[in-house]
Chain A
Amino acid sequence: MNRFDYIQPKTVKEAIAAASAPGSFYLAAGTNLLDLMKIGVSSPVRIIDITRLPGLDEISWLPDGGVRIGALVRNSDLAYDARFARTFPSVAEAVLSGASAQLRNAATVSGNLMQRTRCAYFQDLASACNRRQPFSGCDARGGESRLHAVLGWSEHCIATHPSDFCVPLVALDAVVELEGPDGVREIALDALHALPGTTPERETALQPGELILAVRLPAQSTVYASHARYLKLRERTSYAFALVSTAVALEVGGGAIRSARIALGGVAAKPWRAREAETSLENVAPTPEAFAKAAELALVDARPSGDNTFKIALARNIVARALALAHDGTPKDIPALPASPFFATVGTFHAG
């Protein structure tokens, strides 16, 4: 790890001013950044520890029924907040399916959004990686690529975004509040993470010095509380990143689906919203055929980036399965193994 200057600003304004120096990094819990510094992937000149900034660690319910989650709310505090878990159950389940209890106790909401890819070539300084070192190449192409992207990738980068939390957030139209040298603004979470294209080193839409203040979930998304699921397939059932995951949510009424929300994780450099698949479910009967068609549409543009054709079939199957489970209803309690398809005890369409 290189040496760095460490500062702990008292206000958001101070933090943003300090971040104007080149090589500055904001540090929250550090569960990803410190790890990357130890292996030499991140080499900050200046660390701006934002964990003591006031007012960023609250979950606030808005007058219209939406919720504002402060950037420094810890993952476990969010997932175990009873009202939050009741109102946005798939988000709570996604959080609890990620990392370990120790990491969730430390890791923050904004840190989760800003975490970097777990691509092994990105983390290995001896490998070529356009994301880490522009124009150096991509050793993942033609390398060990079974975990890599099947949607939205380019010849320059096939890495995936590893977050579970972001998948239901993007499905439920989350908005990110930002503050930077030019003031405050907000963007859709769907617009925060960039696809690689020819510039994989540009990972997010954040401008230099911009700081995430909060994530908001809109009141309209509370209609999905009773029919929402997050399912995650992984190499082992706990403490592993997703091979593929999906967050789905249905608004059901009069025997039909009124509206649907579908997003996928582990398949692209960003949490992947499947809008065409959502539209296909509007005002149709909740049949296995309708769910299969939506799953087909969600992956229609998918193509393997290496040795990962299997992920496309897995993703398709898990979307159909999650839709069936969501239609049957959100479970009363989060299962013992969060997001595991092996613990999805309700829902019978897929098995039939």
Chain B
Amino acid sequence: MSLSFSVTINGEVHAIDLDDPRVTLLDLLRERLALTGAKKGCDRGQCGACTVLVDGRRINSCLMLAASLDGSAVTTIEGLASGDVLHPVQAAFVEHDGFQCGFCTPGQIMSAVGLIAEGHAGDDPERIRELMSGNLCRCGAYKGIAEAVLDAQQAQKSGKRKDAA
């Protein structure tokens, strides 16, 4: 059984031909497209290390069959920076020491990008922590992570205001 579909990843259209329907989006990214930024932690939707955006929404890529994504647009950590210029959320994680070992970081950053786009946290650190609870950090860098998300959100907001003016 062969499954052919098309998916846009970080702006680039990929024609995919799968020999096995069991391939998840995470496995497609890591094993077939050499995009190893998204990490396989638990592989059961519990740790958030595999978080990517599908059509702009953050999801656990380990729990999504790649074949179900025909026509979708996926953004991974590899697609955030513009050349050598970090995305504001990436820059904020560096600024606030939002990581130690770094394994969960791509998922944390993609989740934060999704959170900011959703716009439900306001400036409330408690809401940010709650809405980031799907991303575990075994090093315990949560304090820096929450500060980074809040800071990046504020930076994006003020950036938008400047654009509007």
Contact = CB atoms under 8 A, between A and B. Distances in A.
Q: Are A and B bound to each other?
A: yes
Interface of A: 1, 3-6, 8, 27, 29-31, 34-35, 38-39, 47, 49, 51, 76, 80, 99-103, 105-106, 238-239, 336-338
Nearest to B115: A101
Contacts of A105: 57-59, 114
Contacts, number: 94
A101 B64 contact: no
B45 interface: yes
Interface string B29-60: 00000000000000111001001000001111
Contacts of A338: 130
A35 B133 contact: no
B154 interface: no
Nearest to B110: A102
Contacts of B51: 102
Contacts of B114: 101-102, 105
Contact of A102 (B43, B59, B70, B127): B59
Interface stretch (B7-15, B19-27, B143-151): B19-27
B122 to A, nearest CB: 9
Given A30-B64, A35-B63, A106-B64, A4 B130 contact: no
6 contacts: A5-B21, A29-B64, A30-B63, A38-B44, A100-B48, A101-B132
Interface residues of B, number: 36
A101 B118 contact: yes
A130 B100 CA distance: 44
A38 B43 contact: yes
Contacts of A80: 118, 120
Given A30-B63, A31-B63, A8 B68 contact: yes
B133 A103 contact: no
Interface of B: 1, 3, 20-22, 24, 43-45, 48, 51, 57-60, 63-65, 67-68, 70, 111, 114-115, 118, 120, 124, 126-127, 129-135
A175 to B, nearest CB: 29
Contacts of B120: 80
B127 A6 contact: no
A3 B124 contact: no
A337 B130 contact: yes
Given A30-B64, A102-B59, A106-B63, A47 B21 contact: yes
A6 B2 CA distance: 10
Contact of A336 (B127, B134, B135): B127
Given A80-B120, A336-B126, A6 B134 contact: no
Nearest 5 pairs between A and B by C-beta?
A: A100-B134, A6-B21, A238-B133, A336-B126, A239-B133
B120 to A, nearest CB: 7
A251 B115 CA distance: 36
Contacts of A103: 45, 60, 63, 134
B43 A3 contact: no
B60 A106 contact: yes
Contacts of B118: 76, 80, 101
Nearest to B55: A105
Contacts of B20: 3
A27 B66 CA distance: 13
A102 B22 contact: no
Given A49-B68, A106-B59, 13 more contacts: A4-B21, A6-B67, A29-B63, A30-B64, A51-B68, A100-B133, A101-B58, A101-B133, A103-B45, A103-B60, A336-B130, A337-B126, A337-B130
A104 B133 CA distance: 12
A238 B131 CA distance: 9
B49 to A, nearest CB: 11
A237 to B, nearest CB: 8
A30 B59 CA distance: 12
A195 B19 CA distance: 41
B131 to A, nearest CB: 5
